[in-house]
Amino acid sequence: MTAEEKDEEKIKKMAEFRAVLEKRVKELETELEGLKAMLEFANDTLLRKGFKKAEVAKTPSALPETAPPAVEYEETVPLNTPDGEFLANVYVGKDSMRVMLAEDKNFNVNTPPFMQFLVERVLAKMQERDRESATAGEMTSDKIISYNIMREGDTIREITIRNVGPERVRELKSSIRWTLEKMYEKMTQPE
């Protein structure tokens, strides 16, 4: 076997090894996407059942709840009822939103239409569409919309939404405003 033939054989084996590596990387990426989806599902289920994600407990307690969020938020939108009653501030950033609910209102997670509409029909549906797009290869799994509802008991304090594209900001602001208005109406109705 000549030196040239030996080099060709080495190159052939290296190409085969490279193909094996590429296949394994794809398998691991697919497995990682599946694990991320299962983790997200577990987090969502726990949130619906009244548990908080560990991230909730890590919120710095030294900051007052009225402190404006970090600089990454470019726009602040106050949400008010038609009568001018303050409900929340929405902070909009490049690819995220943070909703800080009014401290003087006790928005209960069980008050309709919070779970039935905002969580299940708006946020979960957006997440489902993103997962389908990621499965189809139209987007990467790290761009799937995610949300976290921070609570004190059953009282909602903050909603953080990540991977929000500019096309969804308007829809989310309007859905959140409508939901909070309806919840506030239920909270203030005489029994």
pLDDT of 121-136, one tens digit each? Answer: 898 889 888 888 888 8
pLDDT of 9-36, one tens digit each? Answer: 999 999 998 999 888 888 888 888 777 7
DSSP run (H or E) holding 77 = strand 73-80
Q: Residue 113: is the preceding peptide bond cis (ω within 30°)?
A: yes
| pLDDT score for 11 | 92
DSSP run (H or E) holding 125 = helix 124-135
| pLDDT score for 60 | 37
Distance CA 86, CA 4 (A): 79
| pLDDT score for 32 | 80
Q: Is residue 106 within 8 Å of residue 187, measured between CB atoms?
A: yes
Residues 32 and 100 in one domain: no
Rounded to two decimals, the pTM is 0.59
| pLDDT score for 45 | 67
Distance CA 156, CA 176 (A): 13
Residues 58 and 8 in one domain: no
Residues 78 and 134 in one domain: yes
Residues 171 and 87 in one domain: yes
pLDDT < 70 positions in the chain:
44-73, 191
Q: Is residue 116 within 8 Å of residue 183, measured between CB atoms?
A: no
As for how many domains the chain has, the answer is: 2
| pLDDT score for 66 | 42
What domain range includes position 155? 54-188
Residues 11 and 72 in one domain: no
Q: Is residue 157 within 8 Å of residue 52, measured between CB atoms?
A: no
| pLDDT score for 70 | 46
| pLDDT score for 34 | 76
Q: Which two tokens stand for residue 146?
A: 């995610």
Q: Is residue 122 within 8 Å of residue 113, measured between CB atoms?
A: no
Residues 31 and 90 in one domain: no
Residues 79 and 41 in one domain: no
Q: Which two tokens stand for residue 24?
A: 């394994």
Give 112's contacts (C-beta < 8 A, 6+ positions apart). Answer: 182, 183, 186
Distance CA 45, CA 33 (A): 18
